[in-house]
Homo-oligomer: A and B are copies of this chain.
Amino acid sequence: MKIRPLHDRVIVKRVEAERTTASGIVIPDSAGEKPDQGEILAVGNGKVLEDGKVRALEVKVGDRVLFGKYAGQTVKVDGQELLVMREEDIMGVVEA
């Protein structure tokens, strides 16, 4: 079972392990909160522009992304906690 996000939304799976890696990218937190990094599992068809055209998203499935701590909404799929957010909420793509 999976979710097909609409328009400019993406499905993101948080990546937890990186937070304790010295060389990793970590959003500073002061109380053991979840790091704001994840992997994109699904992307929508694109953002609907004012003239009705659709613009494909810049991120793609598999991208490792950074996002704000409160970005998106949490959903559980097959017991796994995922995030649904807009591409707008993604700050950047982490490149290895």
Q: How far is the CB of A65 from chain B (nearest CB, A)?
A: 8
Query: Size of chain A's interface in residues, with CB distance under 8 A?
Result: 48
B93 and A23 contact, CB distance less than 8 A: no
Instruction: List A residues 1-26 near B (Cβ within 8 Å).
Output: 1-7, 9, 11, 22-26
- Report B-chain residues with C-beta under 8 Å of the C-beta of A68: 73
| Chain B, residue nearest A25 (CB) | B77
- Is A31 close to B, CB under 8 A? no
Q: How far is the CB of A35 from chain B (nearest CB, A)?
A: 10
| Chain B, residue nearest A5 (CB) | B92
Distance between Cα atoms of A60 and B43 in the complex (Å): 19
Q: With contacts A50-B50, A76-B25, A84-B66 known, is A6 near B96, CB below 8 A? A: no
